[in-house]
């Protein structure tokens, strides 16, 4: 496996795939098995249907049980089959990580 330095300005679809693989390794066993099962290429229509339902659930976040958490999950599932979503999702994830890091630093240094 090729290793390359992570540059924020260079984003490839493979970066998103690697991120999803790393995140799935952190899941509990049962959830990881279900996630890996859903990611198999033969589950295309089930995966797309689930992605659309998650996205719709995220749009109706005002209702009980449904929530905004469903929108990114639906987009992540959809990115498995729509390669054009991988780069924007990876850029968004990097932006969120950088923003979170800045906020943590600001919080830690607030009383110094």
Q: pLDDT tens, 22-56?
A: 988 988 999 889 888 988 999 999 999 999 998 99
Residue 95: its pLDDT value, please? 93
Residue 111: its pLDDT value, please? 73
Alpha helices in the chain (DSSP H): 13-25, 29-39, 44-59, 70-79, 86-108
* More reliable by pLDDT, 81 or 2: 81
Confidence label for 5 from pLDDT (cuts 50, 70 and 90): low
Instruction: State both tokens at 49.
Output: 């249907």
């Amino acid at each position: 496996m090729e290793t390359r330095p992570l540059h924020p300005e260079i984003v490839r679809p493979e970066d998103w795939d690697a991120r999803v693989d790393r995140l799935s390794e952190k899941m509990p066993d049962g959830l990881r098995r279900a996630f890996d099962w859903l990611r198999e290429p033969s589950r295309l229509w089930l995966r797309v249907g689930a992605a659309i339902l998650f996205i719709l659930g995220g749009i109706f976040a005002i209702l009980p049980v449904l929530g905004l958490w469903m929108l990114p999950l639906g987009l992540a599932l959809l990115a498995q089959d729509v390669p054009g979503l991988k780069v924007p999702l990876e850029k968004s994830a990097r932006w969120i990580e950088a923003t979170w890091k800045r906020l943590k630093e600001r919080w830690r240094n607030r009383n110094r």
